[in-house]
Amino acid sequence: MKFSPGDESALGKADYELLAEFRYALRKFLGFSKEAATSHGLTPQQYQALLSIQGFPGKDWVTVGELAEQMQIAHHSAVGLADRMETLRLVRRSPSKEDRRRVHISLTARGLGTLEKLYRIHRAELQSTGPQLARLLHRAAMQMPEGA
């Protein structure tokens, strides 16, 4: 979000405090998520990839390009991530039936089992911290100047 050059809206200390509090709450949740993934033998990036694959709208597989987009990483980085996860037997690759140049990446039973455990842990944490995050997000969104 950027302010337009002519935006003369005055920002007060409370504006900065609110945004700082929201970012702090997000960092705490992401720290929790990192610890949860690590305690289950995954890197945070591997957990995010499992979630991105299984949570992709309308299907339970992704292409390398879709994984790269979901993860916000370069295509070659997504290939490397898929390679490492395949070695850990978390995902499998299978050729697309429509286009043999494309590969579908899906979770193995092991990957899905790990994701289910982590989902339950994250859901419990969100039941506790979610209302605070939602309140902060709502407050921050309502206080942002129009056009910001």
User: How does pLDDT run across 89-143, given as a tens digit for each residue?
Assistant: 999 999 988 887 889 999 999 999 999 999 999 999 999 999 999 999 999 888 7
pLDDT value, residue 144: 58
Task: Provide the edge-to-edge strand list for the sheet that holds 91-95.
Answer: 61-62, 103-107, 91-95
Nearest to 22 by CA among 116, 133, 148, 100: 133
pLDDT value, residue 1: 46
Domains and CATH numbers, the chain: 13-143 (1.10.10.10)
Mean pLDDT of 38-58: 97
* pLDDT band (50, 70, 90) for residue 3: very low
Query: What does pTM read for this prediction?
Result: 0.84
